[in-house]
Amino acid sequence: MSLVNRNLNAFLEELASNSPAPGGGSVAALAGALGSALTSMVCRLTVGKKKYAEAEEEMKSVLAMSEKLRTTFTRLIDTDTDAFNKVMEAYSLPKESDDRKALRNAAIQEATKEAALVPLECMKHCIDALALARAVAQKGNLNSVSDAGVSALMIGAGIEAAALNVKINLTGITDMEFVEWKTSEVSSIQKTGRDAVEEILLIVGDKISS
């Protein structure tokens, strides 16, 4: 059964089991989904309120984008687990001859690259999600500004968690050009994400204290 179709307790039981998947990559995607859900909530608590009439159209647009991202993150919860399982399947391939060893090694490399690319995709979507969290922190319902801050924190956690999963998979890849390229991407996204989270929390803090 798909992870996302299980109830919360069943998902957590599977996560806490001795199975290596789902693991940190799926949790990173879940963090992004949780953050996006909070952004959507703030939008819905803003739309239709006379006090926020000027921001209504923007909040409707943010809501549509946030819900699309929530769907994407939800998909990635299972995609990450599937990618890990493909790596395990590649390692289980026969290696009794040189030809089979070569095929096995190629399969491992291909599967490991895919396993690195899934959390990297999650990181990129998190940057988009942070832009939406910033919008609701700035213009959303003031009574829910703390939720905008929690959204940013969850999405930021998603970035950092996904980064760890990219990095650990890169250690098993022999294509050094690919490794250097993706390592650079990870560092860039992490910096952008950290700066965005800090900015959003400053906005939230100012609004709470004013």
What mean pLDDT comes out for the span 135-143?
98
The residues near 36 (Cβ < 8 Å, ≥ 6 apart) are: 66, 67, 69, 70, 73, 129, 132, 151, 155
Q: What is the mean pLDDT of the chain?
A: 96
The residues near 56 (Cβ < 8 Å, ≥ 6 apart) are: 46, 47, 48
What mean pLDDT comes out for the span 23-33?
97
Please state which of the ranges 15-24, 52-61, 107-116, 162-171 shows the lowest mean pLDDT. 15-24
The whole-number pLDDT of residue 3 equals 62
Structure confidence by residue, pLDDT tens digits, 167-176: 999 999 999 9
Structure confidence by residue, pLDDT tens digits, 177-198: 999 999 999 999 999 999 999 9
What mean pLDDT comes out for the span 113-138?
98
The three-point CA angle 12-14-17 to 5° equals 110
Q: Phi and psi dihedrals of 49, rounded to 5?
A: -90, 125
Please state which of the ranges 9-23, 45-59, 180-194 shows the lowest mean pLDDT. 9-23
The whole-number pLDDT of residue 4 equals 65
Q: pTM here? A: 0.94
Burial class of residue 9 (count of CB atoms within 10 Å of its CB; 0-12, 13-18, 19+): exposed
The whole-number pLDDT of residue 1 equals 61
Q: For residue 21, what pLDDT band results from cuts at 50, 70 and 90?
A: confident
C-beta neighbour count of 192 within 10 angstroms: 15
Q: Two tokens at 61?
A: 């647009």
Burial class of residue 160 (count of CB atoms within 10 Å of its CB; 0-12, 13-18, 19+): middle
Q: For residue 7, what pLDDT band results from cuts at 50, 70 and 90?
A: confident
